[in-house]
Amino acid sequence: MMTFYYSMKQMLRTPLRSILFFVLVGVSALLLAVGGSLWYQSSGMEREFEKIYTTIATVEQKQEEVRTIPVWDETLQDYYYINHGVYGERISDEVLDFDGAPYLTEAKLRPHLGAYVEQMYQGIGRTTVITVEAEVSETRTATESIPLRITKVLEGAREEGEIIWFCDEHSEKPVTLEAGKTYIMQLREQGVVHGELAAQNALDPFELEYGFTNGIVSSQFTPEGEQKPDPYLESGENKGVRYDEVTDGFYETESGKRWLNVAHTQEYENRTIPVTPVGATKLLLPFYRGEAVIEEGRDISGEEYETGADVCLIPRQLAVLLQKEVGDRVTLPLYYADYSYIGGNGMSAPTILNTDGEIYPVFDEREYEIVGIYTVSQSAEKDDSELGMYEVIIPWNTVPEEAWSENITGTGAGYMKSYNTSFQIPNGSIAEYMEGWKKQGIDGLEIKFYDNGYTELKEDLESRKMTSKIFLTGGLAMAFLILLFFANLFISGQQERIAVERLLGRMKRQCAVSVLSGMLVLAAAGIFCGSATGYVTAGMVGQQTETELKFDTTYSNAAVQAVQEEEEKEAREETEEETEEETEEETEEETGKAKETVESRKTVGEKKPPVSLAVGSGIVLFILTVLISAGYMKATLKKEVLQMLGESEEI
């Protein structure tokens, strides 16, 4: 105890030196505590953000030009004009498979697959699309609405003997129907009746008229996006015609058999649901944006996507219609592939016939386990990425791509669009990807990235990590130099005392304790104060940095503002009526994704560094103090007593 007393007394004989040592050691400890805490926070936030954020991109082939097309309106006796985008040569998705592309999920031009589900049929048919035999009482050209009498119904909710109105004014050469002949045709409702005959004879001036469909014409494509020629339109009187005359034995002919297949169109539309094969659920923008949410069960796992397991996600509407729950199985007979847009309230194939005039045969049929049931928010964006009402999600690897190569139908040639081509890359690798992509020299594609602001957040985190490195490096360097200087100063200044104690018979160990105890206590006090101050400072810096984190300007700004308004409402809700709570719940549903992201960021940003981190940095610094001072002390004690006395006199 007396040894410690005299050691401290010796330190107090040079108060300015001791205070300076205390302050500088404390500052070093503060820098180490702040640097370590910031590094811990940044690394933790980086790991958390990797779990929260996903970076995807959509690919779309650019239109080469927009043409204005004149269309003759027989009623107005004038042209009206529509703009039509024109694409150039189809660009294959293979161009996206370039060396160095950091894909987590590769870019694929994906179709939706039509599945014929027997249980889907509802009702007895519709009037919107009908396949009928009909005749006219007088020979007329259908440049305006003309009356047809139905003689036979092959498909649709119409009756024999019923009068319907028909018009073909938008064709380059409107059809002329002759009296005394019976025609078979597939018709679709297209607008309100018009013209002189309709004005005189229609029971309702707002009655709908019919026009030809393309149901008799095949729109089959090759995997390369080229349309296959349809023999029905390439020969004889059928060229360019969407109807036929019915004569004796007509249904025994190739044309008649084709029309019998066409008569199943409405049945197939009623029973067909879209099935989308994809490499990851979040590659579909409604899921990525949080507009589509799995409310029961789970998502398809990464392993299931990789192995092509027989699992699926289905929408709530389909689950109710088929009376299915999570864990049940559903059979999906797939019979066609279509690369065109299907969003909205449902879907239907442009035509169910291949170029042989046959209904596309089933190319894959298997049972899928329902692992999740999803719903789509009513506030979801109504754009090309919109999901179909009954859209089922399956892993891309479940059905081989070559399986549907002979069953491709559609209205386009398989151009890459934002709704059918997307990929996933590691977070923060957009610049790397684009650098590699630019080297390919392809200008015909537009790639749009979505990362919910991760790139900006990453920059903030890297800035914080750089700051932490500066603090750590500066703190260690400062501590090392300070300890070297003051250890030398304190020990060299007490060489006379050490020599005297040695002459009085003290052991070297006792001399070391006598000289160093005061210095180490003073260092420990400085380290404690500096580490404690550093811990508090790091927490304040972390909170300040959190308020400066940037959000994704594409999707989050409006939603985040709504979330903030919602939180203000919640503070007032305690004194408001229950009806206001219901309004609040609707607001929460509409901003669900943004709120989840904000809360996740807030939770991550508010994580305080553990006290053990500051304690640990302090212990490391104290050990460094002990080692350096002990090293100096050991070197001093190796000297002879007379040498120490001589050096002390020189000092």
Q: Residues 544-557: pLDDT tens digits?
A: 555 444 444 443 33
- List Cα–Cα distances, 84 to 63, 74, 169, 241, 370, in angstroms: 10, 21, 20, 24, 41
Which of the two residues, 425 and 33, has the higher pLDDT score?
425
CB burial class (10 A; 0-12, 13-18, 19+) of residue 407?
buried
- In this structure, the number of other CB atoms found within 10 A of the CB of residue 202 comes to 19
| Phi-psi map region of 85: left, alpha, beta (phi>0 left; psi -120 to 50 alpha) | beta
- Return the structure tokens found at 648: 């002390």
Q: Indicate the average pLDDT of the chain.
A: 80
Listed in sequence order, the residues at least 6 apart from 613 whose beta carbon sits closer than 8 Å to its beta carbon are 33, 36, 37, 40, 535
Q: What is the pLDDT of residue 435?
A: 92
Residues in the chain: 651
Confidence of residue 647 (pLDDT cuts 50, 70, 90): low
Q: For residue 449, what pLDDT is reported?
A: 93
The pLDDT value recorded for residue 353 is 92
| Mean pLDDT calculated for residue range 182-189 | 93
Report residue 579's pLDDT band, with 50, 70 and 90 as the boundaries. very low
How many Å apart are CA 543 and CA 610, to the nearest integer? 15
Which of the four pLDDT bands, split at 50, 70 and 90, describes residue 10? low
Q: What is the pLDDT of residues 89-107, one digit of tens each?
A: 889 999 999 998 999 999 9
What is the predicted pLDDT for the residue at 372? 97
Residues sharing a CB contact under 8 Å with residue 221, sequence separation 6 or more, in sequence order: 227, 228, 408, 409, 410, 413, 414
**Residue 641: is its pLDDT beyond 60?**
no
Q: Is 498 helix (H, G, I), strand (E, B) or coil?
A: helix
Check pLDDT > 70 for residue 230.
yes
Mean pLDDT of the region 339-362: 79
- Give 337's pLDDT tier (boundaries 50, 70, 90): very high
pLDDT confidence band for 590 (50 / 70 / 90): very low
- What sign has the CA pseudo-torsion 252, 255, 258, 262? negative
> Would the pLDDT of 534 be above 90?
no
Span 298-311, pLDDT tens digits: 999 999 999 999 99
Mean pLDDT in residue range 461-466? 80
Q: What is the pLDDT of residue 215?
A: 84
Residue 613 has pLDDT above 80, yes or no: no
Nearest Cα to Cα of residue 279 among 426, 53, 109: 109
Give the model's pLDDT for residue 326. 96
Residue 650 has pLDDT above 60, yes or no: no
pLDDT, greater one: 637 or 540? 540
* pLDDT of 575 higher than 80: no
Residue 638, pLDDT > 90, answer no
Which has the minimum average pLDDT: 51-60, 237-246, 364-373? 237-246
Comparing 116-125, 128-137, 173-182, 528-537, which segment has the lowest mean pLDDT? 116-125
Q: Is the pLDDT of residue 630 over 90?
A: no
pLDDT of residue 561: 43
What's the Cα-to-Cα distance from 224 to each of 86, 93, 109, 313, 405, rounded to whole Å? 18, 11, 11, 29, 9
pLDDT at 597 (0 to 100): 45
For residues 565 and 244, the model is more confident at 244
Task: Quickly state the pLDDT bin for 4 (edges 50, 70, 90).
Answer: low
Q: Which residue has the higher pLDDT, 414 or 327?
A: 327
In this predicted structure, the answer to whether residue 377 has a pLDDT above a threshold of 70 is yes
Q: Quick one: pLDDT at residue 214?
A: 82
Residue 595: per-residue pLDDT? 45
pLDDT at position 312 over 70 = yes
Of residues 501 and 460, more confidence is placed in 460
Task: With a cut of 50, say whether residue 614 has pLDDT above it.
Answer: yes
Mean pLDDT of 310-331: 95
